[in-house]
Amino acid sequence: MKPEVLQLSPILIPEINAKLHDLYTVRPYYQQSDKAAYIREHGANIRGVVTGGHTGITQALMAQLPALEVVAVNGVGTDAVDLAYARDRGIHVTATIGALTEDVADLAIGLLIAACRGLCTSDRYVRSGQWPQSPSPLAPLPLARQFSGMRIGIVGLGRVGRAVATRAAAFGCPVSYTDLHPMTDVPYAFVSDLTELARQSDALVLAAAADKAEGIVNAQVLEALGEHGYLVNVARGRLVNEADLVAALTAGSIAGAGLDVFVDEPNVPASLFELDSVVLQPHRASATVQTRTRMGEMVLASLADTFAGKTPTGCVRS
């Protein structure tokens, strides 16, 4: 009998999906309209869960899966899984550590360039057909802000933060960072206080885990970033006080933002839709064929190792 696996979010690579269905009896929880009834029917037999970094799994759902052995997160963030509860029950929690670092860092730089160079606004302008009617080649678009040489402040110098730093340095950008403690193996300046880092930066890039850092980017930090400063978030929406961010962008008290993540995804504050200073993405930083394939392979390996009685690689501890 194949082990039963509860799927909480879709896998977008057909080959990975095919392997998953080949090896296991997959229960697609995310497609069910009556989820409670589905769990009553299948919960007792579920031995593995596949979920996304943002989706995670609630403690209440884990509690209804008495045979659960592994939660394989198809992502790097495990902030949406109760790790302490999983540990107490002996459930492995795995993440696709290292698989998506490059993509997320690429998108952080892409979002910053898109925001400060006005790429999306310019694209909309060309598509609107207004260009041939313009009195001068650039009007009515404002001149953009140069990216090369911008002072970049990175919040969280983990794998993604470091990959952002490497890229920024290649553009001639001085890099500073904040984290729980300074790191001795990097050439970047450590600034212990986030508000001070914002004051010293032209752009803040958020790359921190969200577990213990809710709402750290608030009105005070945004005020320090200032009217020429940009915010990029490729981590988790709740690192930011979103109401404060919307207020700062609406008032023009920061210059712009590039956002891949939001507090209440997929709901995005509607007032952001009006603002040309903001570039918005639907949580897509790791969504390339190459990375999602690698992530899917790691999820399959986690399930296979667990069901073979081994400790899977990529285990996350509380």
* 265 annotated active-site: yes
Q: Which is nearer to ligand 8YV, 210 or 249 (by Cβ)? A: 210
- Among residues 69, 76, 96, 83, the alpha carbon closest in space to that of 317 is found at 83
Nearer to ligand 8YV (CB atom), residue 244 or residue 265: 265
| Residue 74 or 178 having the CB closest to ligand 8YV | 74
In angstroms, give the least distance from the CB of 218 to ligand 8YV.
Answer: 22
In the complex, which residues of this chain contact ligand 8YV (CB under 6 A)? 9, 52-54, 74-77, 100, 283, 286
Count of other CB atoms within 10 angstroms of residue 154 = 28
Nearest distance in Å: CB 56, ligand 8YV = 9
- What is the SS3 assignment for 95-118? CCCCCCHHHHHHHHHHHHHHHHCC
Neighbours of 89 (CB within 10 A): 15
Closest to ligand 8YV by CB, 13 vs 278, is 13
Shortest Cβ distance from residue 81 to ligand 8YV (Å)? 11
For residues 52 and 229, which CB has a smaller minimum distance to ligand 8YV in the complex?
52
> Of 167, 283, 292, 294, which one is the catalytic site residue?
283
One of 196, 223, 265, 297 is an active-site residue; which one? Answer: 265
Q: What is residue 60's DSSP assignment?
A: H
CA-to-CA dists, residue 101 to 152, 263, 274, angstroms = 18, 22, 31
DSSP letter (8 states) at residue 178: E
In the complex, the smallest distance separating the C-beta of residue 96 from ligand 8YV, rounded to whole angstroms, is 7
Kindly state the tokens that stand for 96: 């696709």
Q: Which of 236, 238, 292, 294 is catalytic?
A: 236
Smallest gap from Cβ 187 to ligand 8YV, in A, equals 27
Residue 207 to residue 102: CA distance in whole angstroms: 12
The answer to whether 151 is a known catalytic residue is: no
CB 303 within 8 A of CB 310: no
Give the C-alpha separation, 295 to 42, whole Å: 26
CB count, 10 Å around CB of 227?
Answer: 11
Report the catalytic residues: 236, 265, 283
